[in-house]
Amino acid sequence: MNTFQNNTSYCVDREELWDMLYSVLPISIIVICCLGLLGNIFTLSIFLLSRRRLTVAEIYLTNLSASDLVFVMGLPFWAENIREQFIWPFGHVLCCIINGVIKANLFISIFLVVAISRDRYMALVHTMSSQIRRCQRQAQIICAFIWFLGGLLSIPTFLFRSVETVPILNSSSCIIQFPHEVWSSIKFIKMSMVGFVLPLIAIIFFNSHTIISLRSWTKTNLRRSGNVRDTKATSFILTIVTVFIICWTPYHCFAMLEYLFWLKAVQGCFWEEFIDLGLICSTFFAFLNSCLNPVIYIFVGKFFRARVWEVYKQCTTRCSALMNP
């Protein structure tokens, strides 16, 4: 996700560590890609094959799975790029498309997490008014807008990514070349503020009020009001949100350090190598989120497992009908 790693020529005492990353990370990324593909295809198939209409929350979760699926499809290119020590072998067009799609899905994912958090907030904190405001049609429109906004915010990546010769590496790398230095500040503000800080504030606001609302109800009141289902669904959503924040926070912290290094607020070989290595490792950690969500659906999402059972019964019924016409 960062531009490229060029510090090995400056800090030669860490060459063994870089060599290890060049050999280990690509394999690890491919494993994440395979697990993410299988998990998200399975999740999408369950949501889309079920005969029951998707709930508002499930519409958001379906879009999140679709975003994760698109995201992991770009990982083999990144794995090969790292294995080749950041020499991009796929040409200019794929350089723009792969990086643009990954950047778009970075925004789409966190915006969907905000939408999921807001939906739980409306369902539990504003119970009465949410009956009117929460509807499938509205959720579909919100998801369509999120996909559009993610694509819009990734336009600079599509425009300015290119395969250029990097003198330090003496090779061609897929890097981002801005026409003016001010674009670097715009990129950081867009990534950190729009892509993380502001959504994180919204996520914390919605989920903190949701948790407070849940704690204010006794178990007896929950049972009388029939909201035990809401409590389980909320625990499921909170797990997804928590895992997302844990996976993505390190990357954004190192992206901030990278910007400070560009501003020369921090300098030196140690900081350069620490930031570059940190960006690679934190990016890998962020990739994990795309294959963890299906695991959360299966092990935490009781109602998702109910959907799986429904689809299984549908399939067995159809197979029996075909075998015994």
Residue 202 has what pLDDT?
94
Domains of the chain with CATH codes: 14-318 (1.20.1070.10)
**DSSP three-state, residue 55:** coil
More confident residue, 277 or 2: 277
Alpha helix ranges (H) inside the chain = 15-49, 56-73, 75-83, 91-124, 127-133, 136-153, 155-160, 182-189, 198-215, 219-225, 228-262, 269-299, 302-323
Residue 141 has what pLDDT?
94
Residue located via tokens 């989120």: 289
Tell me 12's DSSP state: G
The pLDDT of 77-98, averaged and rounded, is: 89
More confident residue, 19 or 200: 200
Helix then strand then coil, % of the chain, to nearest 5: 80, 5, 15
Percentage of the residues of the chain whose pLDDT score is greater than 70: 86
- Read off the pLDDT of residues 133-190 as tens digits, 9 standing for 90 and up: 668 889 999 999 999 999 999 999 888 898 888 776 667 888 888 888 888 888 888 8
- Read off the pLDDT of residues 242-300 as tens digits, 9 standing for 90 and up: 999 999 999 999 999 988 888 888 888 888 888 888 888 888 888 899 889 888 888 78
**DSSP three-state, residue 165:** strand
The pLDDT of 81-85, averaged and rounded, is: 87
Tokens of 91: 């040409």
- CB distance 307 to 61 below 8 Å: no
> What is the average pLDDT score of the chain?
83
More confident residue, 116 or 226: 116
**DSSP three-state, residue 198:** helix
Determine how β-strand 171-176 pairs with β-strand 161-166: antiparallel
Instruction: Please state, in angstroms and rounded to a whole number, the distance separating the CA atoms of residues 58 and 34.
Output: 24
Name the burial class of residue 215, with classes exposed (0-12), middle (13-18) and buried (19+) by CB atoms within 10 angstroms of its CB: exposed
Tokens of 58: 């499930």
